[in-house]
Amino acid sequence: MKINTFTYLDRRTQWQLEETRFDQLNLLVGVSGVGKTKILQRLRRVCEIAGGSGEAPGAVEWAIDFDHEGQSYRWEAGTDVVKVGELREDATAEPGEEGESSDFVHERVVVNGEVLIDRQGDRFTFAGQPLPKLKKKDSAIALLENEKAVRPIRSAFRRVLFSIAPEVLLGLPFHAFRADEVARRVATYKALPKGAEGFTTFREKLTESGLTNLSEYVTLAVYYLQEAFPEEMRRLGDLFSEIFPSVVSLKVARSIARELSSTIALDLIIEEEGASVPISQSEMSSGMLRTLVHLIEISLSPPGAVIVVDEFENSLGINCMPELTRLMLSRPDCQFILTSHHPYVINNLPPTTWRLVTRKGSKVRVKDARDLPALQVASHQQAFIRLINLPEYEEGIS
Amino acid sequence: MSLCFLVEGDRTEKRLYRAWVGHVFPSLTQVLTIGEITSSSYCVISGGGIPLYKEELRDALSDIRQNAEVRHLFLCIDAEELSREDRRREMEDEIRKAEIESRVRTGNPWLAIHPIVQNCCVETWFLGHAKMMRRNPSSELLREFKGFYDVSERDPERMAAYRGFRTRAEFHLHYLKEMLREQNPMLSYTKKRPDAVLGADYLQALRHRCVATGHLASLQELFDTWESIAPRAAPA
C-alpha cells in the first residue's frame, strides 16, 4: 500500500487537515503543538475503522487516496453523532451502551476511477447494485470485507503499521499463547519456501494476522522468525549488534516458569559480552528495547507496508539513529511516515522528504519542502538549521 | 552595506536583531539565507537554541565564501556562566579555526567578523531600561529582587544569580519578566514573544543607559561597532 493523500475534518472541534500529499518517505516536521501527532492519530483511527477494529468518531469527514497491488483507491466517508439510548432505525445499539455513538452518513469507495461502494444515508449500492439496509455503525469496508473486490482494501489497511516503539518505554510485558496454535503456525511457516520469496510470504502473513502491529505479539513474531527463517533471525541479531556492539546474541527463549500446561510463554533475550546472565525483555534498557522494536518492525514489514512512527527519536541515543535511519532508507519498498524534532534525523533525511506542518487556528496544512523557496538556495548550512530558519517553520502556529 | 547575524538562541535573538537592524539600518532589506544577501540586505541565522555555534559558524563562513557581497558577520553569543573576556577569547579562537576550515578569505577577503558577547544574556541588556523599574514596586518578588540588586542603579551585567536560581541567565530572565509585568501587566515577556522590548524607544533607552552610566559594556560594544560601520546611519 502507498498512501497518496489524506484529508480529515472534525466538525465538532473544527480541527481540519487540508489535503496532505505523501511520498514514499515522509518526515513531518514543525514546531511543537502544531499537530503532527494528531495527524498520525487521525490516520490511525481511519485505518482501524477500515480494518473493522475501531468505531468511527462522530461528526467527522475524511478522504484517503492510496495505491495497492497495482490498483488505485479513494475512500471518502462522513459520520454523525448518535445519542445511544435513542431508538435507532437499524436498532444496532447494543444493550447497555451509553453516551454517544456514531453512524456513517455517507461513504464512497472508488477503485481505478470507478465507484465500487456508494452509501448516502440509507441508500447503499455495491458495484452498482442496491443492497439492503446495513449497519450504519460500521464502515462498508468492514461490512463487505469478504467480497472479492473489497478484500484487497482491507488487506491494504492492515499493511499500515503504527510503530509500537513508543509503547514499550516501560518494558515489553510477557504474554502467554496457546501452545497448540503456536506449534501449528510454526509448522505452517516452516513449510514456506526458503529464500526471499518465502520470507516475503511469511512477512505478509504476519502482517495480515496483525502480529507486528501490537506490542503483545512482537516477541511471538520474532519467535516465528527464529523458528522458520533462522538466517533472517541472524541478520536481525547482526543489525542489533551493529548498534550495540556489546550484544553477542539475540534470541527468543521459552519462559517455562510462566507457562501453563496448554500455553507457551516467550522471552526476547540478549546476551552481552562479559555478562554472565542473559538480559530478558523485561530487563532491557528502554533505548535498547525501542531500537530493537524498530528493527523488528522494519525487518518484518512486507513490501508495500506503510510504517508510521511518531517522534522517531524518543529514547534513542545518537548511537542508534544512524543505523535505524540507514535501515529505513534501505527499504524503498515500504512507505514511511515519521515525525521528528531531532537534528540528526532531520539532517540525515533529504529535505525532499520533509513535510512542514503549519497550523492556523484549527486548520492544519502540510507543505511540501519542495515548495519552500528558501530551501532551494544552495548552502553549506546543516539542513536542520535551514529548516528552523524558515519563516514557515518559525511561524508554524498562527 | 550587508550584514549577517549568526545567533545561538531560538526565537528571542532572531527577533531582537531583526527589530534592531530595522531601527538602526532601516534601508536594509531582510533576506532569509546568506546566498540571497546583496549589497543592501541582511539576514539573521539562528541555531535554534542548540549550543552548536562552532559548527554553524564554519557552515555560515562556507556560504559567505561564495557570496562576496557579505561584508559583516556578527557572531552573537551569550556569555552565560563564563566571564565576558573568557567567552570572547573562546569565540575568537573559534572564528580563527572556522576561517581556516571554511577558506572564507579565498572568496570573500573583505569580510569583517565581529564577535558580540551578550553578557550574560540578552535579558541582561533589556534590564538596562532604567525607567522600566518602579521606585516602589507593588510585587513582593520584584521588591526582593530590587533589594538584592537594583538594576536601575547598578550595572545589570555585574548582577549575580539570586538564591534559588541555578544560573545568572535564569535569574536575569525572571527579573526582567517581573520588572515588565510590574510596569504594565500587558507587557508580558517570554523568550518566544519578546515584543515588549523590541521597540525603537526601548532601544533608545538602552543606548542612553550605556552612554550615561558606562553600564552594559557588552551592548555598548555592539553599538560602537554599528556606529563604526555606518556612523551616519546610527541614531545619535
pLDDT digits (tens, 9 = 90+) for A53-97: 778 888 999 999 999 999 999 999 999 988 766 555 555 555 444
| B45, B6 Cβ separation under 8 angstroms | yes
pLDDT above 90 (res A13): yes
| B60, B45 Cβ separation under 8 angstroms | yes
My answer on whether B45 and B108 are in the same domain is yes
- Binary contact (A379, B33; C-beta < 8 A): yes
- Binary contact (B35, A386; C-beta < 8 A): no
Which one of B118, B152, B175 terminates a domain?
B118
Q: Residue A385: its chain B contacts at CB < 8 A?
A: 45-48, 56, 59
Task: Cis check for the bond before B120: say yes or no (omega within 30 of 0).
Answer: yes
Which one of B102, B118, B134 terminates a domain?
B118
Tell me if B233 is assigned to some domain: no
Does B34 reach chain A within 8 Å, measured CB to CB?
Answer: yes
Size of interface A-B (CB pairs under 8 A): 49
- Binary contact (A382, B34; C-beta < 8 A): no
For residues A365 and B53, which has the higher predicted lDDT (pLDDT)? A365
Which residues are CB-contacts of B210 (< 8 A; sequence separation ≥ 6)? B128, B216, B217, B219, B220, B223
Q: Residue A391: its chain B contacts at CB < 8 A?
A: 32
B22 by Cβ neighbours in 10 Å (0-12 / 13-18 / 19+) ranks as middle
- Binary contact (B59, A382; C-beta < 8 A): yes
- Binary contact (A380, B62; C-beta < 8 A): yes
Q: Cα separation of A20 and A386, whole Å?
A: 23
- Binary contact (B59, A374; C-beta < 8 A): no
Name the residue among A378, A379, A385 with its Cβ closest to that of B47.
Answer: A385
Name the residue among B48, B55, B63 with its Cβ closest to that of A388.
Answer: B48
Average pLDDT over residues A121-138: 90
Confidence of residue B115 (pLDDT cuts 50, 70, 90): very high
Tell me if B227 is assigned to some domain: no
A44-53 pLDDT, tens per residue? Answer: 999 989 987 7
What was the pLDDT predicted at A371?
86
Q: Cα separation of A197 and A191, whole Å?
A: 13
Using alpha carbons, list the distances in angstroms from residue A121 to A52, A61, A118, A384, B77: 20, 14, 10, 49, 63
Average pLDDT over residues B13-17: 93
Any idea what the Cα angle at residue B63 is, between residues B61 and B67, rounded to 5°?
A: 105
Helix axes A286-300, A196-208, angle to 10 degrees: 110
Confidence of residue B136 (pLDDT cuts 50, 70, 90): very high
Average pLDDT over residues A304-326: 85
For residues A100 and B190, which has the higher predicted lDDT (pLDDT)? B190
B69: helix, strand or coil: coil
My answer on whether B102 and B161 are in the same domain is no
Any idea what the Cα angle at residue A250 is, between residues A294 and A185, rounded to 5°?
A: 80
My answer on whether B148 and B107 are in the same domain is no
- Binary contact (B55, A382; C-beta < 8 A): yes
Return the minimum-mean-pLDDT range out of A83-87, A232-236, B16-20, B44-48: A83-87
Which residues are CB-contacts of B87 (< 8 A; sequence separation ≥ 6)? B77, B78, B79, B80, B117, B119
For an interface test with B, the pick among A34, A389, A397, A398 (most B C-beta atoms closer than 10 Å) comes out as A389
What was the pLDDT predicted at A213?
64
What secondary structure letter does DSSP report for A319?
A: T
My answer on whether B162 and B83 are in the same domain is no
Q: How far is B212 from chain A, CA to nearest CA, in Å?
A: 37
Name the residue among B36, B48, B59 with its Cβ closest to that of A377.
Answer: B36
- Binary contact (B59, A386; C-beta < 8 A): no
Average pLDDT over residues A135-152: 92
My answer on whether B106 and B145 are in the same domain is no
What was the pLDDT predicted at A51?
80
Does B182 reach chain A within 8 Å, measured CB to CB?
Answer: no
Q: Cα separation of B32 and A381, whole Å?
A: 13
Which chain A residue's Cα is nearest to B67? A379
Does B36 reach chain A within 8 Å, measured CB to CB?
Answer: yes
For an interface test with B, the pick among A318, A384, A385 (most B C-beta atoms closer than 10 Å) comes out as A385
Which residues are CB-contacts of B22 (< 8 A; sequence separation ≥ 6)? none
Confidence of residue A99 (pLDDT cuts 50, 70, 90): low
- Binary contact (B46, A389; C-beta < 8 A): yes
Which residues are CB-contacts of B83 (< 8 A; sequence separation ≥ 6)? none
A161-220 pLDDT, tens per residue? Answer: 999 887 776 777 788 889 999 999 999 999 999 989 999 999 999 988 876 666 678 899
Query: What would the DSSP string read from start to end of A209-252?
Result: TTTTSSGGGHHHHHHHHHHH-HHHHHHHHHHHHHHSTTEEEEEE
Q: Among residues A392, A337, A336, A333, which one has the least CA distance to residue A200?
A: A333
Q: Among residues A11, A22, A124, which one has the least CA distance to residue A58?
A: A11
Does B62 reach chain A within 8 Å, measured CB to CB?
Answer: yes
My answer on whether B25 and B106 are in the same domain is yes
Using alpha carbons, list the distances in angstroms from residue A127 to A52, A116, A137, A147, A153: 21, 5, 21, 11, 15
Tell me if B84 is assigned to some domain: yes
Which residues are CB-contacts of A287 (< 8 A; sequence separation ≥ 6)? A315, A316, A317, A320
Most confident of A180-194, A362-376, B5-19, B174-188: A180-194
Confidence of residue B233 (pLDDT cuts 50, 70, 90): very low
For residues A121 and A202, which has the higher predicted lDDT (pLDDT)? A202
My answer on whether B112 and B133 are in the same domain is no
Write the single-letter amino acid at B71.
R
Does B55 reach chain A within 8 Å, measured CB to CB?
Answer: yes
CB atoms within 10 A of CB A16: 19
| B184, B193 Cβ separation under 8 angstroms | no
Percent of chain A with pLDDT over 70: 94
For residues B150 and A48, which has the higher predicted lDDT (pLDDT)? B150
Residue B196's domain comprises 123-213
Does B11 reach chain A within 8 Å, measured CB to CB?
Answer: yes
What was the pLDDT predicted at A95?
44
Tell me if B68 is assigned to some domain: yes
Average pLDDT over residues B98-106: 95
Does B59 reach chain A within 8 Å, measured CB to CB?
Answer: yes
Which one of B118, B136, B171 terminates a domain?
B118
Average pLDDT over residues A351-367: 93
- Binary contact (A385, B45; C-beta < 8 A): yes
pLDDT above 50 (res B234): no
My answer on whether B197 and B140 are in the same domain is yes
What is the number of domains present in chain B? 2
Confidence of residue A135 (pLDDT cuts 50, 70, 90): confident
Return the minimum-mean-pLDDT range out of A72-86, A287-301, B28-42, B126-140: A72-86
Does B15 reach chain A within 8 Å, measured CB to CB?
Answer: no
Tell me if B194 is assigned to some domain: yes
My answer on whether B99 and B14 are in the same domain is yes
My answer on whether B10 and B100 are in the same domain is yes
pLDDT above 90 (res A236): yes
Name the residue among B46, B63, B102 with its Cβ closest to that of A379.
Answer: B63
Percent of chain B with pLDDT over 90: 81
Average pLDDT over residues B40-61: 86
- Binary contact (A377, B14; C-beta < 8 A): no
What was the pLDDT predicted at A15?
96
Partners of A68 in the beta sheet?
A71
Tell me if B177 is assigned to some domain: yes
| A304, A69 Cβ separation under 8 angstroms | yes
Which residues are CB-contacts of B169 (< 8 A; sequence separation ≥ 6)? B78, B80, B120, B121, B123, B124
Q: Cα separation of A211 and A328, whole Å?
A: 20
For residues B15 and A166, which has the higher predicted lDDT (pLDDT)? B15
Tell me if B230 is assigned to some domain: no
- Binary contact (B33, A377; C-beta < 8 A): yes
Confidence of residue A108 (pLDDT cuts 50, 70, 90): very high
pLDDT, mean over chain A: 88
Percent of chain B with pLDDT over 70: 95
Q: Among residues B21, B25, B130, B32, which one has the least CA distance to residue B76?
A: B21
Q: Residue B32: its chain A contacts at CB < 8 A?
A: 374, 377, 389-391
My answer on whether B114 and B130 are in the same domain is no
Beta strand A71-83 pairing with A100-111: antiparallel
Which letter, b or e, does each residue of A40-71 get, where b requires 16 or more Cβ atoms within 10 Å of its Cβ?
Answer: bebbebbbbbbbeeeebbbbbbbbbbbebeee
My answer on whether B25 and B131 are in the same domain is no
What was the pLDDT predicted at A261?
79
Tell me if B173 is assigned to some domain: yes
pLDDT above 80 (res A157): yes
Confidence of residue B236 (pLDDT cuts 50, 70, 90): very low
Q: Residue B60: its chain A contacts at CB < 8 A?
A: 380-381
Write the single-letter amino acid at B142.
L
Average pLDDT over residues A29-37: 91
Q: How far is B96 from chain A, CA to nearest CA, in Å?
A: 18
Residue written as cell 539532517?
A347
Q: Which residues of A touch B (CB under 8 A)?
A: 343, 374, 377-382, 384-386, 388-391, 394
